[in-house]
Amino acid sequence: MIPNFYDSTKRYRTWNGALREEFGGKIFKVPIDGGFDCPNRDGTVAHGGCTFCSVSGSGDMILEPNAPLREQFFTEVNFMHKKWRDVSQYIVYFQNFTNTHAPVEILRERYEQVINLNGVVGLSIGTRPDCLPDETIEYLAELNERLYLWVELGLQTTYEETSNLINRAHSYEVYLDAVERLRKHNIRVCTHLINGLPTETPEMMLENCRRMILDSDIQGVKLHLMHLMTQTKMMRDYHEGRLKLMSMEEYVQVICDQLEIIPQDIIIHRLTGDAPRESLIGPMWSLNKWEVLNAIDTELEKRKSYQGKFDIRKSGGTRELC
């Protein structure tokens, strides 16, 4: 029997449905560039950044990344209001690079510029597991008492070999420790995984999801497609045969396999990503976002399946029917 998710049009627990359940209506998630760098770009832990990362550090779709924070916020909100005029509540998303990679005094100064703006009900912070010192987590715990807070951790893979290949510059153990310390303060954690990284098979992609769920107490997940972008070091893996771009059919199968083992209480923040056409090498089918999402819906319906059908926590760590 298909569970009664809040968003009844989907067979998984959507981010949009979860927000409607929490706030009683549609919420805008407003991406902004906080002006932070990354520790494996500036030499703190490594140089060059993750090999898949573009020059904007995942902020390619932000409209005015160089503008003051308040101006960025209102630019994004006004653009979104062209489509949804009746929305009046917002979650500010510090998106690109590593948004806790600074002393806590700087974090406080930048976050506080936007969280008190009219209509802001929440904050989402994209960061790395190795950039969460105790004093930062203490400030995040304070924020968690004041508004709806998510910390988004870029894990990307649980395999150390892949992590080294993509220059991630932190271990899986560092990720597990970060989640544990955040959860001691009841801070919501959304973990990012990338499907299609160099040398990883569909079986490894499913195993990444299995480990993440069994090993860490997370409340949300973002599942991304590996986008190959121009001017990234990942180009070398592609040209030397270590990276094979996934077909849409392969990607849809992997996503559905992952959804089936993810417990139903975990919010699915994303099932595919966005990339600017002018800098995307491939897969080009990913530009048709709604076609991809519709294909996932169709495949789940074809399987008579849904999120959590083979809940990995209930099945004792094996992908068997519960």
Q: Which of 306, 12, 38 is nearest to 168 (CA)?
A: 38
Question: Residue 311 domain-assigned?
Answer: no
| pLDDT of the residue at 58 | 54
Q: How many domains does the chain contain in total?
A: 1
Sign, CA torsion 163/191/207/199? negative
As a whole number of angstroms, the distance between CA 3 and CA 262 comes to: 13
As a whole number of angstroms, the distance between CA 19 and CA 145 comes to: 18
Q: Print the domain residue range for 31.
A: 15-303
Question: Residue 8 domain-assigned?
Answer: no
| pLDDT of the residue at 59 | 47
Q: Which helix (H) or strand (E) holds 148?
A: strand 148-156
Q: How far is CA 34 from CA 38, 68, 92, in A?
A: 12, 9, 11
Question: Residue 130 domain-assigned?
Answer: yes
Contacts of 69 (CB under 8 A, 6+ apart): 32, 34, 110, 113, 114
| pLDDT of the residue at 321 | 40
Residue found under tokens 């597991």 = 129
Query: Measured in Å, how far apart are the chain's first and last C-alpha atoms?
Result: 12
CATH number at residue 111: 3.80.30.30
As a whole number of angstroms, the distance between CA 190 and CA 158 comes to: 15
As a whole number of angstroms, the distance between CA 100 and CA 94 comes to: 10
For 102-136, write each residue's pLDDT tens digit.
999 999 999 999 999 999 999 999 999 999 999 99
For 13-31, write each residue's pLDDT tens digit.
999 999 999 999 999 999 9
Cβ atoms of 282 and 226 closer than 8 Å: no
| pLDDT of the residue at 82 | 87
Kindly report the number of other CB atoms within 10 A of residue 70's CB atom: 12
Question: Residue 316 domain-assigned?
Answer: no
- Give the SS3 label for residue 177: helix
| pLDDT of the residue at 105 | 97
Q: For every one of its 322 residues, what pLDDT tens digit does the chain have, with 9 covering 90 and above?
A: 678 787 788 999 999 999 999 999 999 999 999 999 999 888 898 888 888 887 654 545 666 777 999 999 999 999 999 888 889 999 999 998 899 999 999 999 999 999 999 999 999 999 999 999 999 999 999 999 999 999 999 999 999 999 999 999 899 999 999 999 999 999 999 999 999 999 999 999 999 999 999 999 999 999 999 999 998 889 988 999 889 999 999 999 999 999 999 999 999 999 998 888 888 999 999 999 999 999 999 999 999 999 999 999 987 665 444 3
What's the full length of the chain, in residues? 322
Question: Residue 308 domain-assigned?
Answer: no
Question: Residue 126 domain-assigned?
Answer: yes
| pLDDT of the residue at 57 | 47
Q: How far is CA 74 from CA 70, 109, 239, 265, 290, in A?
A: 6, 18, 41, 33, 26
Question: Residue 310 domain-assigned?
Answer: no
Q: How far is CA 316 from CA 53, 191, 261, in A?
A: 36, 21, 11
Contacts of 221 (CB under 8 A, 6+ apart): 190, 191, 192, 193, 209, 212, 262, 266, 267, 268, 269
Which amino acid does the sequence have at 176? L
